[in-house]
Structure 1
Amino acid sequence: MKKQIIFLFTLSLLFALTFAKKSTKHKKSSSKKSAKKPEGSLEFSAAAGVIIPDASSENPIILSNAEDQPLCKPDVPTTPVKELKVMPGYDFFVLTNKIEYPRKLLMDRTNHLLVVSPERGLYSIRMDKCGNSDILQILDGTLYDERLGTGVAIYGQHIFVATETSIYRFPYNDGQHSPLADGVKVMSNLNPLKSTEAPDIVIDVHGSAFIPRSMTDIDDKVGSTHAVIKKFNFRDIPEKGYDFDLDGEFFAFGTNTQGLLGFDVQSQLWGLNGLPKDIKRIDVHPDQDLSVSGLAEELNKYAGPGNNYGFPYCYTEYSLEKISELSRGRGGQWGNPVFLNESFALDAYCLDETSNRVPEVPLPPKSYASNVHFYSGTFCSVGDLATLGTSVGLPCNWTNTPIIANHGFDNQPEGHSVVHIPFNDLGHKPRLDLDVDVILEASEPCGEGKCFAPYGLAVDQYGRLYISSDETNEIVVVTRYFSETAAREFTDKVDAMEDAMEDSKEQGDDDEKSDNDDKNDKDDDRSSKDDYKSNNKHRKSEAKKPRL
């Protein structure tokens, strides 16, 4: 596991390509194939036989065999409802449009896709690598007279499904393609105020379940304890189950989670915070609704128990420069006007990070960011537009960085896209100076009618990205263009770049040596001149002395 984590933090494009050259040299004389897993790899999933490069190995592998790639598409293509634009170097296809209102996606350990539809129920999609699929409803949408939520999670031999007010546990085996049965309620009182944000549920590798509660309406009676994330032990659930209000541990305050939670590869919890409507501060602008004209949605990392993330007292700026000279820049903090009064310096409170943890990434307003997914690096690829990719998977240098589904709002042009946010490897911090990578988006701004509205995200064992669009009832798969020659061509590019750098260094060394020689020659000339002047002066001085 430690090796895997090291890989996920250190694998970079240049490293991978430099290795490719060495690996080729080492293996020229051998054509023997490993009986188990190749040297220089880690087993990512024993059940599915998924392997990934091991960067701590002397020779980490690059997966670039044509026979390993899913280079096909469904036998019967499905045309997208709206024209879509994919990132250069990538392609996409519609897996299905047969599930109404698809939201959360969950890929189990056998590359088996589960889809939550709050309107209809939980669906199982069994598919081959080309995307030919068989769809089966395995749970009805009106579970025990409770409307289904969006939350679903797998832990051990069970699947946990959230309704609007409860969580149920069912026996489940990876790859199961049959109806769920023998459900048991394991949590109640989940969402007593019936927030429009139906609760999600995620469970880490240790069996700790994280469940958010959100607020729809805000007034001066609302506090940070009304919008929280709580942590529960799902390894050992009491016979009577949990009560959300009475049990569990407060993990984060002031969150007001929007959409779906996600873990990075270190099992750190991340989530999205939305904005209420009609936020006005007269000191900033007398008329503008700041929720649509400059305040940010938020991507937060929930670093540990007990921290406060600001809601409902504090908001984050995305950019107020166009409407106010008081702009504090991206990430600046502002007090909620509902709670402003003369007896308490709310802005100062919001600017104090011991009271209010600022977000890792301020997101554009009106995006309705709905899902954060961290890519684990499975079947990752290297390459560029000229070489194409060494696999159909997402880029290796996207490992442990977030992909965001921007659902957008009806009849609004913002959002309606899926983007990747660049991060630094060092410190795992976002590069806010760089633009996001737009992976998939609507070709035209959303207007009347149904729009491409991304909500759920998942990645399969081939590194392909799955996206649900709840308005168009689609699940779309994004895949990189593959070339059998990509590894060699890109390695040649790296070799050429290294040679150029080496030549430049040698030229620099030669120039420096030449400069030093010239300097030494000049110093010698100067020394000779100084000697001549000194001798000449000495002769003149001697000539002036009286002879005895």
Structure 2
Amino acid sequence: MAPFAIFAALGLFLSAANAQNCTPLTPSAQLKISDGYTAQVILNGLRVPRNIIFDTAGNLLVSEQGGAGIRRVVLTESDGNVCVASSAQLIPDTSFNHGIALSQDGKTLFVSNMASVYGYPYDAEAGTVGTRKTLIEGMRSGGHITRTLLVPSSAPDVLIVSRGSDGNIDNTTTNVEAGKSIIKTFKISELLASEIATNYVSGGEVLGWGLRNSVGVGEDPSTGGIWSVENSADDIVRSGVDIHNENPAEELNYHGVIKDAENTLKGQNYGYPACFSAWQTTNIPSNSKITVGSQFGGIAGTPFEQVTARGSLEEVDEFCRTERQGPRLIFPAHTAPLDIKFKEDGSAAYVAFHGSWDRRPPDGYRVGKIAFANGQPVANITDTTAVEYILQNEDTTKCPGACFRPVGLAFDKKGRLFMTADMSGEIFVITEV
């Protein structure tokens, strides 16, 4: 037997042994778990795991940004514990960086890299893929590299693709035709039938734009509502004052229901690069009309910095409040929300906060729960305590170096929440008890 085959067989043997013993692994960081929940690591040693989905056979598919491509993890159970029966590379591709989704019938696997979206015929039971097809292209840029994918259960012929900005403040995104800082929808049947790839910039329909970097996109299965979580700007300055440590807020944005022909949110502009949401108002210059969660402008390097030469900051802020679509909830600055997933009954959304690099002390590095009712958050936008944090690092002063950093979330059929931690190479399962 070749050396590689020996190592592969050994890896499968070790996975099988772990499944038989079903012993939870030791987390890389000390965890702080809320009452009513348990959390355990079921797999480690992965190469920067990002987004995750379950296939129709209950296997976990993982996009690894660290050059490994797509991984298939077969799960089993013993005495109520989740165990890994096997873990193996499904698609080797060093360019894949984040996005992964499945068609509603589970037979087409969609994956992305910075430039393109691909489709693969997929057999969930056999764990095999067919010949790939390039479906969407023309997304290469030098800024944010993730391209998030989602196939809503309420609109099975729709593929949602989110693309971020080309840099911190990307003024080209004032033009919707730039095709950046935008979420678009594409018809899957047309993508699969076409002999040539669709260009992202000129193709598809605009769901929302003016969205700096909406890495997390999710569907409320109880209503079909589409939500995104936005990573807002770094190092912002207004009227010569550095306000970046507490501003701008990260955002929870609502985009309506895809299949609703009267969706008034479709195609709306959410403010970037001119307008941002306030988390802490006290340190913002000329803040008399700025409230928690309201949008404001006049940030150095943005288009509206020039407007203040002809008008006032208050006039700029009024434009941001009245002419741009605001968020439904806000989160602390720089906490970096990277995914959002909903409970099946729509009673709560869960958000993975990857954690900050641009504030002192560090913040984020946790998983939060947001209460929902009738398709909307229970909390008001001014409520800075709207998120219940269910899984955190015990000591965030050690972050990011000695912390888990949540990225991808996925619910299994039993309502257990699976989570990737990219920098530590772990997969967690979080259970409500």
The TM-score, its normalising length taken from structure 2, stands at 0.81
Matched, 1:94 2:50: no
Can you list the C-alpha shifts for 1:437-484, whole angstroms capped at 9, x where unaligned? Answer: 211000111426342100000111111111111011111111133xxx
The alpha carbon displacement at 1:296 in A equals 0.4
Q: Distance in 2 between matches of 1:219 and 1:458?
A: 31
Match in the other structure for 1:508: none
1:188 to 129, 137, 158: 137
- Change in Cα spacing, 1:221 to 1:78, as seen in structure 2 (3 Å) is closer
Q: Distance in 2 between matches of 1:194 and 1:74?
A: 46
SS at match of 2:390: strand
Can you list the C-alpha shifts for 1:468-506, whole angstroms capped at 9, x where unaligned? Answer: 11011111111133xxxxxxxxxxxxxxxxxxxxxxxxx
Can you list the C-alpha shifts for 1:370-408, whole angstroms capped at 9, x where unaligned? Answer: 11111114xxxxxxxxxxxxxxxxxxxxx3421110000
Letter of the structure 2 residue corresponding to residue 125 of structure 1: V
Match in the other structure for 2:235: 278
Q: Distance in 2 between matches of 1:234 and 1:365?
A: 36
Q: Distance in 2 between matches of 1:242 and 1:469?
A: 33
- Change in Cα spacing, 1:188 to 1:427, as seen in structure 2 (3 Å) is closer
Match in the other structure for 1:351: 321
Matched, 1:122 2:94: no
Maintained 8 Å contact 1:270/1:299 = yes
SS at match of 1:201: strand
Match in the other structure for 1:249: 205
Please show how residues 331-480 of structure 1 align to structure 2 within 5 Å: 331-337=293-299, 338=302, 339-340=304-305, 341=307, 342-343=309-310, 345-352=315-322, 355-377=323-345, 399-410=346-357, 413-423=362-372, 425-426=373-374, 428-432=376-380, 433=383, 435-447=386-398, 449-480=401-432
Q: Distance in 2 between matches of 1:446 and 1:141?
A: 35
Larger radius of gyration: 1
1:263 to 219, 228, 232: 219
SS at match of 2:238: coil
Letter of the structure 1 residue corresponding to residue 89 of structure 2: Q
The alpha carbon displacement at 1:347 in A equals 1.8
- Change in Cα spacing, 1:240 to 1:438, as seen in structure 2 (3 Å) is same
Structure 2: gaps of 5 or more residues: 1-18, 257-264
Can you list the C-alpha shifts for 1:137-192, whole angstroms capped at 9, x where unaligned? Answer: 101132xxxx11211111132111111111111111334434x2311111111x22
Q: Distance in 1 between matches of 2:33 and 2:335?
A: 18
The alpha carbon displacement at 1:322 in A equals 5.5
Q: Distance in 1 between matches of 2:38 and 2:297?
A: 44
Matched, 1:291 2:244: yes
SS at match of 2:428: strand
The alpha carbon displacement at 1:435 in A equals 4.2
2:281 to 320, 338, 363: 320
Maintained 8 Å contact 2:115/2:141 = no
Match in the other structure for 1:203: 151
Q: Distance in 2 between matches of 1:412 and 1:112?
A: 38
Match in the other structure for 1:306: 267
Q: Distance in 2 between matches of 1:347 and 1:435?
A: 25
The structure with more helix, counted as a fraction of residues: 1
Matched, 1:172 2:129: no
SS at match of 1:218: coil
Aligned sequence identity (%): 25
The alpha carbon displacement at 1:228 in A equals 1.4
The alpha carbon displacement at 1:240 in A equals 1.1
Letter of the structure 2 residue corresponding to residue 466 of structure 1: F
Q: Distance in 1 between matches of 2:286 and 2:325?
A: 25
Letter of the structure 2 residue corresponding to residue 346 of structure 1: V
The alpha carbon displacement at 1:111 in A equals 2.0
1:112 to 29, 35, 59: 59
Count of matched residue pairs: 376
- Change in Cα spacing, 1:450 to 1:100, as seen in structure 2 (3 Å) is farther
Maintained 8 Å contact 1:312/1:336 = no
- Change in Cα spacing, 1:92 to 1:429, as seen in structure 2 (3 Å) is closer
SS at match of 2:72: strand
Please show how residues 14-29 of structure 1 align to structure 2 within 5 Å: none
The alpha carbon displacement at 1:261 in A equals 1.1
Match in the other structure for 1:523: none
Letter of the structure 2 residue corresponding to residue 300 of structure 1: N
The structure with more strand, counted as a fraction of residues: 2
Can you list the C-alpha shifts for 1:259-317, whole angstroms capped at 9, x where unaligned? Answer: 221111122211122222221112xxx432x2322320101011242211111111001
The alpha carbon displacement at 1:324 in A equals 5.8
